[in-house]
Amino acid sequence: MIAPQPIAITGGRVICPASGHDGVATILLQDRVVASIGQFEPPSHAVHIDARGLVVAPGIIDVGVFRAHPPACHAGGITRVVLMPDQSPPLDDPALVAYAQGSGKPDVWVHPLAAATRGLLGEELAEIGLAQAAGAVGVATGRGAIADARVMHRLLAYARAFGLTVVAHAEDPALTAGAVATAGEYATRLGLAAAPAFAEAMAITRDCRLAQATGAALHIRQVTTAEGLAAVAAARHAGVDVTAGITPAHLLLNDMAVSGFRSFARLSPPLRDERDRLAAIEGVRSGIIDILASGHDPQSQEDKRQPFADARAGMAGAQTLLALGLGLVRDGVIDLPRLIAMLSWNPARRFGLVAGTLQLGAPADLVVFDEHAPWRIDGRAFEGAGNTPFDGLPTFGRVRITIKGGELVWQC
């Protein structure tokens, strides 16, 4: 493969959480890697990009997406996705894992999570070792939790043997079966089948105890309740290797968003009450939550424009992840380097990816963005499906350039 022309990005605020670099610098990309960073005169034969007034950071690594849409990823500054196994068919076979890994080439790096069980039915373990050899960077229970504690215990033990992180969905299946909302005032008013919020903490507590017993690495894809966050904090205090993720939707919206049966606000897990939303923000501030992800799971208009209980859960999130995350910075919850770490370096470390950094020799995956650029979210203008509960919301933060593997794949 012919290497792309060198690219020199000058004048931008370069942030690299891995090295701690945060300051104006020139960065040279050559032979698909970061060749130099600092204060120097870039070579004349390189493509010059003036990034004055902009932020230069590692490309975003979006953990736990259900669809890998290259145009949406590019527009959102995402260069890598950690893909959930909930595909058609599920990624429960090494050949399917290998196919998924190559599905984004050459536009976006796809790192598949292998299905924990055959058909994601929660019963018989899939071939975890062979899936790893085929390219899986972890193993996941999928959109639902594994109900049988014995199966989950075996999964964690096997994953520990292969050095793989287990990605778990944190809802007790017995409590959430058939539910479409969180139990509370709004679900009651609308007559929606609902499950108690503590179903999340019950699942987290069980899985963390099993991870402690096996020594396995565990990632809770979304932790959205005060009780769930407390369970993660307690497990860490006990020495459990557990990390937690969340989406902007669960930080910015509460269960009031389902008023009027707004099916675009039907998500999994469902939106929580205001007390839990505020607790999630504090979870980000305190560091209990390590990873911010889009939860990109766009649905067709036919699937979303249904009665609330019949609509499919999910939303498009790739193109709004960075902008909505920047709201945490403007509100003083975290600083910009911490946000960049939650979007890139932390995911890379958790799943063993050689990425998420701008250190010398690292893959040339970058995002250049204007953190102050105003725009209004318009789902109709999204690349691909546009169902989002944030439609019409004014926000700040625009991706100007996305570079993947040393090649400019997006410019705005």
Nearest to 145 by CA among 116, 118, 181: 116
DSSP per residue over 354-372, as a string? S-S--STTSB--EEEEEEE
Q: What is the per-residue pLDDT for 2?
A: 73
Give the whole-angstrom CA distance, residue 47 versus residue 38.
Answer: 17
Q: What is the per-residue pLDDT for 108?
A: 95
Residue 59, phi then psi, degrees to nearest 5 = -55, 145
Domains of the chain: 92-106+115-321 (3.20.20.140)
Indicate left, alpha or beta for 224 from its phi (over 0: left) and psi (-120 to 50: alpha).
alpha
Total residues belonging to the chain: 412
| Range 52-81 average pLDDT | 97
Mean per-residue pLDDT of the chain: 96
Q: Tell whether the model's pLDDT for residue 383 goes beyond 80.
A: no
Q: What is the per-residue pLDDT for 320?
A: 97
Q: What is the per-residue pLDDT for 292?
A: 98
Give the whole-angstrom CA distance, residue 229 versus residue 190.
Answer: 28
Nearest to 57 by CA among 318, 356, 409: 356
| Range 143-152 average pLDDT | 97
For tokens 């610098």, the residue is 25
Q: What is the per-residue pLDDT for 385?
A: 63
Q: Is 138 within 8 Å of 112 (Cβ atoms)? A: no
**What is the model's pTM?**
0.96
| Range 354-373 average pLDDT | 98
Q: Tell whether the model's pLDDT for residue 3 goes beyond 80.
A: no
Q: What is the per-residue pLDDT for 75?
A: 95
| Range 399-410 average pLDDT | 97
133: helix, strand or coil: helix
Q: Residue 146 belongs to what H/E stretch?
A: none
Q: Tell whether the model's pLDDT for residue 411 goes beyond 70.
A: yes
Give the whole-angstrom CA distance, residue 155 versus residue 116.
Answer: 7
CA–CA–CA angle 281, 357, 334 (5° rounding): 20
Q: Tell whether the model's pLDDT for residue 246 goes beyond 90.
A: yes
Q: What is the per-residue pLDDT for 1?
A: 59
Give the whole-angstrom CA distance, residue 331 versus residue 313.
Answer: 29
- Per-residue pLDDT reduced to its tens digit, 276-310: 999 999 999 999 999 999 999 999 888 888 999 99
Q: Tell whether the model's pLDDT for residue 240 goes beyond 70.
A: yes
| Range 55-66 average pLDDT | 98
| Range 79-91 average pLDDT | 98
- Per-residue pLDDT reduced to its tens digit, 105-130: 899 999 999 999 999 999 999 999 99
Q: Is 141 within 8 Å of 120 (Cβ atoms)? A: yes
